[in-house]
Structure formats: structure tokens, C-alpha cells
Amino acid sequence: MFSKKEKITINTNNTEINKEKANKGESYEMVVRHVKRSALVGILASAIVVMIAAWSVMAPYAITVNGSTVCYVRNREAAGNVTNAIIKEYLPEDATMSVFDVSDNINVEAAGIKQALSADCVSVSEAASMLKDRLENPDDYETAEVSGSPKKVNPFGIVLYVEAADGTTVKAPVDPSITVLSTANVTETFKVPTEYIKDDSMLAGDSEVEAKGNKGKREVLRQFTTVNGEVVKTDDLNVKVVKEAKPKVIRKGTLGLPEGEDWKTYEGDPIFNDGEVLISTAKKYLGAPYKYGGYSLTTGIDCVQFIRQMYAKYGIKLPNGKNALKHVGTAVSFSNAKPGDIICYSNHYALYMGNNTIIHATSKGGVKIRHNAQFRKIVTVRRIPRS
């Protein structure tokens, strides 16, 4: 049995133990209450986060340009699809998009609760059409003011707008833009520059094709930069020639070429400024057949038409008729005759070549040269004014 002192000690100890247990019980309950309270706050916070996230995904989205709402779509996914739809339309045929840039004045953002309640949402295709119209027809919409800030350039170096020359605030369009950089493998034909051969025996403006040439073929990796659907720049990143091209070769005349004209590109009439030039042209038709009353240097021509056609090649129209050539131009003496003058006989005509020599169309041998201009009596010598 315990003594009274021992009982008191035990009782005292039991009292302390009970107090400690009581304190521990109270602390435990406090911890439990704190944990429950913290869990409730966490649940509420999580719920708010989820609600915000759900709202950001499911809420109507406004598409704005220069701060003005173009339209609303049902949710964030639809808003993304609008941009994707426009970019797809802005890609050149068979091109693959590399990167794209949307200017700062085009925004896609969740509508506020107030706007969401009254928002009239449209489909992705309708929204894309509305935004495209805004992008491609900036003149139909109000412009914004641009202050004297540095010029704004997108990542591809395309200037979207610039400040005034004097740095002051000016009224200028701040056009919204979607810029797309894309590439495509293109197979195309190509030509090389035409080669020209100078022919001093041919009339200026006349030409003959010596070689037709042919197109080549090449495979090109081409990069396109488009702004709002318009291709503003192309760069060929890699070119592989599959088939070589051959140049077209053209022979071009120089006789009677007007001063200052390029013989390669001149297409007008030659200018009659030198009788020697006219004779050089006439000599090209040596051997052409004769035909009384004929007009053709191929099937037959007479003396009058031969002279008329030689001058016609230089843009000079001489009158027709049996005796008309005896009255054209200016009369000169045979002693002063020069190449290109018309020698008129009583019933025949020839072109003077100089040195008492003529070229004419005759019934005996067609177009030929005669080394005696005075083989019959000369009625008159006519000189056509030079240019």
C-alpha cells in the first residue's frame, strides 16, 4: 500500500498528466480546424482558378482592330481558328507557312462579363470574312493618328507606317496587317535574253529570225512575303536548272536607221537620207522576175513598181501611173546625178547607182544591173528629197 505522501505525489502527477492530455487535445482540435479551414480556402481558390480558366476558354472572344471591335466569336478556340483561316487564305498556292506576324493593332481577347451577355457571336468563316475586309480595305475605315515615333517595322522588314518627315503628329493610316512568310517548290520555264546580229545590208526596222531558241526549265525553292494576302516580296532561296535555255537569235537591219535610235529595238520605217543605202536595198533583189504591170518582187514586177517599192521601204510613197515618176521630186542634170536618183526614159525607169550604172527591172532578165545608164535617151533625172 502507498503512503499518504506517495498518494499525494501520484495524484499530483496524474493531475499534470491529465492537464497535458487536455492541452494536447485542444491543440489537436485547433490543428484539425486549421487544416479544414485551409482545405476549404484551397478548394475555393482552386474553384476560382478553374472558373477563370473555364471563362478564358469558354467566354466569347472579341476581335478588335485599332481598339474597335470587329466581331465576337464563341470562345478562344474559335478566335484562334479565325486567324488560322485568314493565314491559310494568304498563303500562295502550294506554299508552306514558315512564320507569321500579326501587327499590334489587331487583338483577340476574352470579352468582359458585360460584353459577353450582349455579344452577338458569329461563325469562324463569318469572322474571317469580316476581318479580311477590314485588313484589305483600310480606306473604308477610320484612320488613327500617328505620333512622331520611330517607324514601325514587323520582323520581316515591311514598314507598316512611318512618322511625318518633320517628326510631328500627322493624320496617317495605321493599317492593320497579317504578314506571312512561306516557301514553295516551284517548277517553271524560263527564257534567256534574245541575241541580235547587226546586218548593214538590211533596212532598219526589218528583222529575220536566225534561231528560234527554246525555253529552259528550273526547280526553285521560292520564299514569299505576303501582307494581307498581297505578295510584296519574293526571294529564290535555291535554284536548280533542269534544262538549259537557248537564246532566240534575230538579225536586224541598220540601213536608214534614224539618228539616235537603237538598231536592236527600232521597229519604224527607215529614213531615206543616203542614195547609197537605197541602192544597197535594191541590189538585194537582183534576179527578181519581170512581169508587165506586176507588183511582186517574188512572182514578177515591172520597172515602175520596182522603183516605187524600193522607196516605199523607206516610208516614201511615190505616185503610180505610166508617166507619174517623170514629175516627182526635183529635176537634176544627168551630170549631177547621184545614187538613188530616178533615171526616166521615154518608156522606162531605172535607179542610178553612180558611175554611169543603173539597176532596173527589165523584160530580159528581170532585176539586173546595167553599166551604161545612157543606153537609151534620158528624158529627165528626178531626185527625191533626202530626210
d(CA 359, CA 171): 76
Distance CA 274, CA 338 (A): 10
**In this structure, are 351 and 320 located in the same domain?**
yes
Q: Is 223 helix (H, G, I), strand (E, B) or coil?
A: strand
Q: At what angle do helices 76-90 and 124-136 cross, to 10 degrees?
A: 50
Q: What pLDDT shows up at residue 301?
A: 96
d(CA 124, CA 93): 22
CB 144 within 8 A of CB 153: no
Judgement on whether residues 296 and 360 belong to the same structural domain of the protein: yes
At 236-248, the pLDDT tens digits run 999 999 999 999 9
Query: Three-state SS across 331-377?
Result: EECHHHCCCCCEEEECCCEEEEEECCEEEEEECCCEEEEECCCCCCC
Q: Which pLDDT value is given to residue 136?
A: 86
Number of H helices, E strands in the chain: 6, 22
Taking the C-alpha atoms of 258, 264, 265 and 267 in order, what is their torsion angle to the nearest 10 degrees? 60
Containing domain of residue 209, as a range?
181-252
For the chain, list residues with pLDDT below 70: 1-58, 116, 142-174, 387
pLDDT for 331: 93
CATH of the domain at 219: 2.20.230.10
Amino acid present at 127: A
- Which whole-number Å values give the CA distances from 73 to 67, 110, 128, 220, in the listed order? 17, 10, 10, 40
278 in the same domain as 193: no
Give the CATH number of the domain where residue 293 resides: 3.90.1720.10
Rounded CA separation 206/286 (Å): 19
Burial (CB count within 10 angstroms: exposed 0-12, middle 13-18, buried 19+), residue 354? middle
Q: What is the pLDDT of residue 7?
A: 47
Round to whole Å and give the CA distance between 105 and 154. 12
Does 243 share its domain with 291?
no
Question: Do 192 and 225 have their domain in common?
Answer: yes
Specify if 377 maps to a domain: yes
What is the model's pLDDT at position 169?
45
Q: Are residues 242 and 331 in the same domain?
A: no
Of the candidates 174, 156, 181, which has an alpha carbon nearest to the alpha carbon of residue 231?
Answer: 181
Domain membership flag for residue 72 = no
Element (H, E) at 84: helix 76-90
- Residue 27: which residues within 8 A CB-CB, separation 6 or more? none
Q: Is-contact 108 127, C-beta < 8 A?
A: no
Residue 107: Cβ within 10 Å count: 17
Pair 252, 202: CB distance under 8 Å: yes
Whether residue 293 sits in one domain with residue 219: no
Residues 291, 240 share a domain: no
Residues 54-100 have pLDDT tens digits of: 445 557 999 988 888 899 998 889 988 998 999 999 999 899 999 88
pLDDT given for residue 128 in this prediction: 93
- How many folded domains does the chain comprise? 2
Q: What is the DSSP string of 157-199?
A: S-EEE---TTSS-EE------EEEEEEEEEEEEE--PPEEEEE
**Are residues 288 and 367 located together in one domain of the fold?**
yes
What is d(CA 140, CA 142) in angstroms, rounded to the nearest whole number? 7
